[in-house]
Amino acid sequence: MADSVSASQVLDALRPIIDPDFQKSIVDLGFIKDLRIDGAAVSFAIELTTPACPVKEEFKRAAHERVLALKGVDDVAVTMTANTRQAARQASDGQTQVSLPGVKNIIAVASGKGGVGKSTTAINLALTLRDEGAEVGILDTDVYGPSLSLLTGVHGRPDTTPDRKIMPLIGQGMKLMSMAFFMDDDSPVIWRGPMVHGLVKQFLTDVNWGELDYLIVDMPPGTGDAALTLTQMAPLSGAVIVTTANDLSLIDARKGLQMFEKVGVPILGIVENMSYFTPMDQPDRKYHIFGRGGGERVAKELGVDFLGEVPIDPRIAEDGDVGKPIVVSQPDSPSSVAFRRIAGEVARKVAMLAITNPPIADTNITWVNN
């Protein structure tokens, strides 16, 4: 055992690995868990703040190389895990927020107007987080024009528990809830404000969501009754604003953003959807049909982050209409790549909101004597 590496040597080898968001060592942040030393074999886990961390593979590679370079180490096993942290939630003055036990983070995906691809963005972001290993749910709160059933290909009426809780439907590996699941036909929903308020409250308080890392809320377009109820009542961790580059959409996006700011909901950033079109036979050309750079310009003007552009792809509509969102049907398409990058940024920002100071965590070290 005299030639065996020590725990302190392993931790010192890992200490130069810096988390780019917190600008601190992954050792000092308490990310190293379950460190085991068995002669010349070393194993440990790196526990991240979100399964969608965009640099997790870099962390794994660097950790493996650094520990393997230590004298007396012949084998290194690095396991990547995640413990999604819960972001702080701030209620606006005079408002009472509901409690969703087991739901760590609620992220609103909103737009100032309809027709900009808000629901498409919400479902593809949710699926990306699911693919990264997170437990995800989607709440479609567009009472008058619900789209979750169409986008996921899930139909049916939810069951209820003996204590009158509504069980979400399961589809695409996620928990789903939408007004569409309670509609028997294509008749229009004609409800007044108080009824809408009651339904939104019921979706928040009476649905048995269970344990979720992220609940994605597909907000109704605009700043009407349902949207206001949600921003005031739901304990939102943050909001993503979806727009197109044209001036009309940008004006409405500003209104939606200001609604969240007034009730103290952090703005995670702006997504510019349908940014440009690239013909299949002209892969180097970009046609900016709705204008150019509007989303980034508004983000800069309002002092929020620009999360990225999503190009126009006819397959988004075609595949979405048959319950196959593009990150599932065309995972290597430019639009899917954009959605994955944006989802990573959203998860990263929520994790940063959840940690204001480095967590205090003791490293669990196990020695195995031969």
Using one digit for the tens of pLDDT, what is the confidence trace for 166-184? 999 999 999 999 988 887 6
pLDDT in tens, 110-151: 987 778 889 999 999 999 999 998 999 999 988 777 889 899
Render pLDDT for 203-250 as a digit per residue (tens, 0 to 9): 888 899 999 999 999 988 766 666 777 887 888 899 999 988 887 778
Give, in degrees to the nearest 5, the angle at Cα 309 between 307 and 315: 130
The per-residue pLDDT for 183 is 74
Q: Which of 28, 132, 148 is nearest to 350 (CA)?
A: 132
pLDDT-derived band at 37 (thresholds 50, 70, 90) equals: very high
Are 323 and 154 within 8 A, CB to CB? yes
pLDDT score recorded for residue 25: 95
Confidence class for position 95, pLDDT limits 50, 70, 90:
low
User: For the chain, what are the domain ranges?
Assistant: 7-83+357-367, 103-354
> CA torsion angle for 229, 246, 292, 262 (degrees, to 10)?
-30
Whether residue 343 is predicted with pLDDT greater than 50 in this model: the reply is: yes
- pLDDT reported for residue 184: 67
* Sign of CA pseudo-dihedral 169, 173, 174, 177: negative
Summarised one tens digit per residue, pLDDT across range 296-342 is: 888 888 889 999 999 999 899 899 889 999 999 999 999 999 999 99
CA distances (Å), origin 340, targets 111, 154, 183, 283: 20, 23, 32, 21
Residue 74, pLDDT above cutoff 90 = yes
CA distances from 76 to 68, 72, 293, 364, 367 (A): 6, 11, 47, 17, 15
Structure tokens at 262: 């007034």
**Statement: residue 17 has pLDDT above 90:** yes
In this predicted structure, what is the pLDDT of residue 213?
93
pLDDT at 85 over 50: yes
The pLDDT tens digits for 251-295 are 878 888 888 888 888 999 999 999 888 888 887 888 888 888 888
Cα 293 to Cα 309: distance, rounded to the nearest angstrom: 9
Tokens representing 94 are 């005079």
Cα 39–chain centre separation: 41
**Residue 73 in this model has a pLDDT that exceeds 90:** yes
CATH class of the region 103-354: alpha beta
| Angle at the Cα of 204 from the Cα atoms of 98 and 92, rounded to 5 degrees | 40
Mean pLDDT of the 349-362 span: 61
Report pLDDT for 89.
Answer: 61
Q: Which pLDDT score, from 0 to 100, does residue 189 have?
A: 56
What distance in Å separates the CA atoms of residue 118 and residue 127, rounded to the nearest whole number? 14
Class of the CATH domain delimited by 7-83+357-367:
alpha beta
pLDDT in tens, 41-57: 999 999 998 888 878 89
